[in-house]
Amino acid sequence: MIVRGTVSYWFLFALFRVAIRRRIGAVGMADILVLVIVSDAIQNSMAGEYNSVTDGFILVATLVGWTVFTDWLAFRFAPLRAVMEPPPLLLIREGRLLRRNMRAELLTENELLSKLRAQGVADPSQVERAFMESDGEISVIRRGPGASSS
């Protein structure tokens, strides 16, 4: 049971990290992964597909244990953190949209402009730098008052 839970966790973690790089929002990828797997695991234990309810509890504990352990590892070891958490992605530099980076995240210009407006920025020319953070949020550094638009 523990081996099945471990294999499932790492397979889905790798799949989401490589194939689905787009950041989801304020909720982290590992949080969503655990919620989905845990809900399925507990559902199966309640439906009787395991030999006992205890089997479901063991699987859930294994999944949560891996989540806590990977969070701890990422906190303690910076090189591992670089692998486990995507770095901030530059989307705007000196008022210019970086379309290659936007394309890598499947982020449309309209989506980015919407995120800028939500932060009170009417036009990308007002932005010195904008990043997509690892949690999916867009952080904006505005240009100084004397900056010219390009």
Q: Residue 138: which CATH number?
A: 3.30.240.20
Q: Residues 78, 93: one domain?
A: no
Compute the distance between CA of residue 1 and CA of residue 62 in angstroms, rounded to an integer. Answer: 9
Q: Do residues 54 and 98 both lie within one domain?
A: no
71 Cβ neighbours under 8 A, 6+ residues apart: 30
| Residues 72, 29 within the same domain | yes
* pLDDT tens sequence across 112-134: 999 999 999 999 999 999 999 87
Percent of the chain with pLDDT over 90: 31
Average pLDDT, the chain: 79
| Residue 22 structural domain | 2-84
Q: List pLDDT tens digits, range 76-110.
A: 998 888 777 778 999 999 999 999 999 988 889 99
Q: Is the overall model pTM greater than 0.85, yes or no?
A: no
Q: How many domains does the chain have?
A: 2
- Band of pLDDT at residue 137, cut at 50, 70 and 90: confident
Between β-strands 96-97 and 127-132, what pairing exists: parallel, antiparallel or unpaired? unpaired
Residue-wise pLDDT tens digits, 7-32: 777 877 776 665 554 444 445 667 67
Query: Does 67 share its domain with 94?
Result: no
Structure confidence at residue 112 (pLDDT) = 94
- Residue 17's pLDDT is 66
Q: Is 120 found in the same domain as 105?
A: yes
DSSP string, 74-132: HHH-HHHHHHHSPPPEEEEETTEE-HHHHHHTT--HHHHHHHHHHTT---GGGEEEEEE
Residues 47, 115 share a domain: no
> Do the beta carbons of residue 38 and residue 63 sit within 8 Å?
yes
Calpha distance 144→121 (Å, rounded): 13
Q: Within a domain: residue 147?
A: no
Beta partners for residue 132, in sequence order: 89, 138
